[in-house]
């Protein structure tokens, strides 16, 4: 992990860890795990690995997309999130799909605003 100063790096790592704990308890409830692989303060990039039951799970691409979209909004120092389940040797791809998440506003191809599905919880 590259950090400019140990204290700043620890603070950022703590905030990323707390973000994962707060926003994705269902990962743990379903037997999965999320771990920080690397944080680069200079580029604002963080790499997250999902493990356990997340590997091979059909909704892990949606979980990855949610992590990517929410983390950059909540933690200002983070500009890019790389996340993977370890399958396919790299980052999970959505195969052209772009899911929407509760609270996320997206413009569709016709220019109409779609506020996404309502959260079931």
Structural domains of the chain ordered from first start: 6-114 (3.30.300.130)
Q: How many Cα neighbours within 13 Å face the side chain of 91?
A: 14
Q: What is the pLDDT along the chain (121 residues), one digit of tens a residue?
A: 444 434 455 799 999 999 998 888 888 888 888 889 999 999 999 999 988 888 888 888 888 899 999 999 999 999 999 998 866 544 444 333 444 444 555 555 666 665 555 555 4
Of 113, 45, 111, 34, the closest CA to residue 80 belongs to 45
- pTM, 2 dp: 0.62
DSSP code string of 13-73? HHHHHHHHHHH-HHHHHTTEEEEEEEEETTTTEEEEEEEETTTT-TTHHHHHHHHHHHHHH
* Residue 71 CB coordination number (10 Å): 20
């Amino acid at each position: 992990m590259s950090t400019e100063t140990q204290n700043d790096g620890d603070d950022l790592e703590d905030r990323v860890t707390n973000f994962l704990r707060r926003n994705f308890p269902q990962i743990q409830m379903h037997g999965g795990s999320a771990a920080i692989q690397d944080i680069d303060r200079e580029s604002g990039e963080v790499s997250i690995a999902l493990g356990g039951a997340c590997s091979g799970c059909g909704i892990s691409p949606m979980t990855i997309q949610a992590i990517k979209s929410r983390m950059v909004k909540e933690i200002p120092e983070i500009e890019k999130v790389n996340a993977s389940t370890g399958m396919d040797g790299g980052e999970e791809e959505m195969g052209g799909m772009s899911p929407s998440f509760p609270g996320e506003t997206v413009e569709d191809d016709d220019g109409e605003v779609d506020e996404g599905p309502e959260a079931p919880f």
